[in-house]
Amino acid sequence: MSAAFTALSAVLIKDCRRLLRRRGQLIQPLLFFTLVSALFPFALGSEGALLQRVGPAIVWVCLLLATTLGLEDIFRADWEDGSLEQLALATLPLPLTCAAKAFAHWVACLLPLIAMAALSALAYGVGAAERNALLWSLVLGTPVFSLVGSIGSALTVGLRGGALLLALLILPLYIPVLIFGAGATRNAALALPVGGELHFLAGLSVLAATLAPFAAAASLRARLS
């Protein structure tokens, strides 16, 4: 057990360091999120009440789209340097390796986007209750993006034009998270309970953490065979 935990920690730390070293790939989703969220006021107008009402939904959509830009990198570096085959043959179960890589992606890529989302919500004039619900929904729901995205990344790793195919595969699977996340902020704006939506998001994350690593591992084995 201790050996498996040590190997799992090594995979997690290595991936976090590798993602953080590639500053260009980390900055690209942040720039995309900032630019797209900044375009909506030009299209919708400068009416404060309207921007305050639609701001949380804009933040969710922009974050969802920005997330897809970095999903291809979850397994690409290991595929390019040939270490992916070694990971598949290692004593550490491949599903645990996939889970560690998805968690590293969430820490390195999604947490900065969540921080940027908080700033965007503040810029849109979103109220304190809605911002609180928005942040909780993002923290509980965005792990699904990395976990489900790891499946698509495993399926498309090494393919030419894999980024576009990856987006087409996983974007429909993100819709439930988007619905419950936006629903939580909408209920907060109406002074309604948000616990139901947040529990659904937490449940989706638990379900993804349970099933996605095994699906990603199976996809990697199919690509390596």
**What confidence tens digit (pLDDT) does each residue in 24-71 have?**
677 888 899 999 998 988 888 878 788 888 889 999 999 999 998 888
pTM: 0.89
Domain interval for residue 84: 2-224
Give backbone dihedrals phi and psi of 125, rounded to 5 degrees, phi first.
80, 25
Angle at 54 between CA 51 and CA 55, to 5 degrees: 70
Confidence of residue 5 (pLDDT cuts 50, 70, 90): low
Report which of 117, 10, 19, 34 is spatially closest to residue 70, judged by C-alpha positions.
19
Count of CB atoms situated within 10 Å of the CB of 207: 12
Find the DSSP H helices in the chain.
2-21, 23-44, 48-67, 73-81, 83-89, 94-105, 111-123, 128-156, 162-170, 175-189, 195-224
Q: 134 is written with which tokens? A: 């928005």
pLDDT bin (cut points 50, 70, 90) of residue 7 is low
In the chain, the number of structural domains is 1
Looking at per-residue pLDDT, the higher value among 61 and 94 belongs to 61
Report residue 1's pLDDT band, with 50, 70 and 90 as the boundaries: low
pLDDT (tens digit per residue) in 176-215: 999 999 999 999 988 889 999 999 999 999 999 999 999 9
Which whole number is the average pLDDT over 132-150? 94
Contact of 192 with 129, CB cutoff 8 Å: no
